[in-house]
């Protein structure tokens, strides 16, 4: 399969399409040992040797994207009424089989991982793997030490479900607190239901991290970038005390 060299560089998370053009112009990209300058040169990523700044880049079978989801967009592959997260994937990064690995509510913003790798998605979503997800929740009123400690130890939801322990950090206190919360589960409306169980309503919710990979602070809401292989490894990193105890 042959694709344009600039498309290869952007879909493999080596550079954005515009950075790719710069790299090519500067002679930093070699195909089979020869510098190439034309962005529309077609290459065969499985047969040609593509070297950027001296390093050889192989072809990644699957694609992994970081989307900064805005409000009002649904975490689905298609929807008759609302825009979906897939509608936000730029044309050069689209390919068959992409889906969001995990859902955020329509009014939640932040990090959504989009991939065509079902096995990887299963690994990060399965409760057995305890991949931590980090959120920032803006609350409707003050929250006390007792409530924080109930949440930290594993709160019981309104329907009787007992949550696993969570890690909480007060980012801002007062009348409209902002709380960072890390959980290793992914139940329906989990964060909202956890705070509801201690008498607070979540007014704003943002996912800032999946595993050890933080949402890129330069990524604007609605934008999407390919995740490099080294950043991909960070997703599966077991990064905190919540991941150390037994199975569900």
8 A C-beta contact, residue 124 and residue 211: yes
| Closer to ligand URA by Cβ: residue 30 or 125 | 125
Q: Interface with ligand URA includes 104 (CB under 6 A)?
A: yes
Q: Applying CB under 6 A, what is the total number of residues that bind ligand URA?
A: 8
Alpha carbons 136 and 132: distance in angstroms, whole number: 13
Q: Which of 189, 141, 142, 185 is nearest to 167 (CA)?
A: 185
Region 43-102 residues binding ligand URA, contact defined as CB under 6 A:
none
The one among 25, 95, 189, 201 contacting ligand URA by CB under 6 A: 189
Residue from 50, 121, 166, 205 that binds ligand URA (CB under 6 A)?
Answer: 205
Question: Shortest approach of ligand URA to residue 86 CB, angstroms?
Answer: 17
Residues 151, 214: contact at Cβ < 8 Å?
A: no
DSSP state of 59: -
Selecting among 48, 79, 105, 140, the annotated active-site residue is: 105
Stretch that binds ligand URA, among 9-17, 83-91, 150-158, 190-198 (CB under 6 A): 190-198
Three-class SS state of 18: helix
Q: Which is nearer to ligand URA, 93 or 191 (CB)?
A: 191
Options 166, 191, 197, 215; binder of ligand URA; rule CB under 6 A: 191
The Cβ of residue 206 has, within 10 Å, a number of other Cβ atoms equal to: 20
3-state secondary structure of 9: helix
Token representation of residue 175: 């009348």
Question: b/e per residue, 26-59, with b = 16+ CB within 10 A?
Answer: eeebbbeeeeeeebeeebebeeeebbbeeeebeb
Residue 108 in contact with ligand URA, rule: CB under 6 A: yes
Contact 213, 227 (CB under 8 A): yes
Asked if 122 touches ligand URA (CB under 6 A), the answer is no
As measured in angstroms, the least distance from the Cβ of 104 to ligand URA is 4
- Contact between 192 and ligand URA per CB under 6 A: yes
6 is catalytic: no
Exactly one of 105, 116, 140, 216 binds ligand URA (CB under 6 A); which one? 105
* Interacting residue ranges for ligand URA, rule: CB under 6 A: 104-105, 108, 189-192, 205
């Amino acid at each position: 399969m042959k694709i344009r060299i600039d498309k290869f560089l952007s879909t493999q998370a080596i550079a954005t399409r515009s950075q790719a053009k710069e790299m090519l112009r500067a002679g930093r990209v070699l195909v089979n040992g020869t510098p190439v300058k034309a962005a529309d040169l077609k290459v065969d990523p499985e047969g040609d040797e593509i070297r950027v700044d001296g390093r050889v880049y192989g072809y990644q079978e699957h694609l992994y994207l970081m989307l900064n989801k805005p409000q009002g967009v649904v975490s689905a592959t298609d929807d008759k009424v609302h825009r979906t997260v897939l509608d936000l994937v730029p044309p050069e990064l689209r390919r068959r089989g992409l889906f969001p690995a995990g859902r955020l509510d329509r009014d939640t913003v932040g990090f959504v991982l989009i991939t065509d790798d079902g096995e990887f998605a299963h690994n990060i979503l399965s409760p057995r793997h305890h991949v931590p997800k980090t959120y920032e929740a803006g609350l409707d009123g003050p929250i006390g030490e007792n409530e924080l400690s109930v949440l930290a130890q594993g709160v019981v939801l309104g329907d009787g479900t007992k949550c696993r322990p969570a890690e909480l950090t007060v980012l801002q206190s007062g009348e409209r607190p902002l709380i960072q919360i890390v959980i290793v589960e992914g139940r329906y409306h989990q964060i909202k239901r956890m705070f509801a169980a201690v008498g607070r309503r979540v007014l704003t919710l943002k996912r800032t991290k999946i595993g050890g990979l933080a949402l890129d602070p330069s990524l604007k809401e609605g934008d999407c970038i390919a995740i490099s292989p080294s950043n991909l490894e960070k997703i599966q990193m077991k990064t905190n005390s919540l991941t150390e105890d037994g199975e569900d």
